[in-house]
Amino acid sequence: SQKIEQNSEALNIQEGKTATLTCNYTNYSPAYLQWYRQDPGRGPVFLLLIRENEKEKRKERLKVTFDTTLKQSLFHITASQPADSATYLCALDYGNNRLAFGKGNQVVVIP
């Protein structure tokens, strides 16, 4: 069966350090992978999209990698700030702009 796995344990990280989140998937062959941020009581907000033929994508302090051989994406927040505290969702395309989401990984940045 198809699975998208994100770490269920919250990531507690000191301000200024780099947070790294993992998204692993099985039985999918996505052409695109997206990352979203969700704050409590709010809807997800789109952050980054990476194509299967791209190794890495950057946006300000965010970086995403996509390894279709390992079936894995890594999401990095460099120089983390308390305002980065949120839940981060990985989403895989499975055609016609349909997205399958992981459960999300909570990040807590400690001042």
Partner 1 sequence: ETGVTQTPRHLVMGMTNKKSLKCEQHLGHNAMYWYKQSAKKPLELMFVYNFKEQTENNSVPSRFSPECPNSSHLFLHLHTLQPEDSALYLCASSHALRGPGNQPQHFGDGTRLSIL
Which one of 13, 19, 25, 34 is in contact with partner 1 (CB under 8 A)? 34
- Of 80, 77, 99, give the one whose Cα is nearest residue 90: 99
Q: Identity (one letter) of the amino acid at 61? A: R
Per-residue binding letters, 43-82, with partner 1 (x by CB under 8 A): xxxx--x-x-------------------------------
- The least CB distance from residue 43 to partner 1, in Å, is 3
Tokens of 75: 């999401």
Residues counted in the chain: 111
Q: Does residue 1 belong to the site contacting partner 1 (CB under 8 A)?
A: no
- Of 85, 106, 111, give the one whose Cα is nearest residue 15: 111
Query: Residue 56 and residue 45: Cα distance in Å, rounded?
Result: 20
Q: Does residue 95 belong to the site contacting partner 1 (CB under 8 A)?
A: yes
- The least CB distance from residue 65 to partner 1, in Å, is 18
Check if the beta carbon of residue 109 is closer than 8 Å to that of residue 82: yes
Note the residues at the interface with partner 1 (CB under 8 A): 4, 30-32, 34, 36, 41-46, 49, 51, 89, 93-104
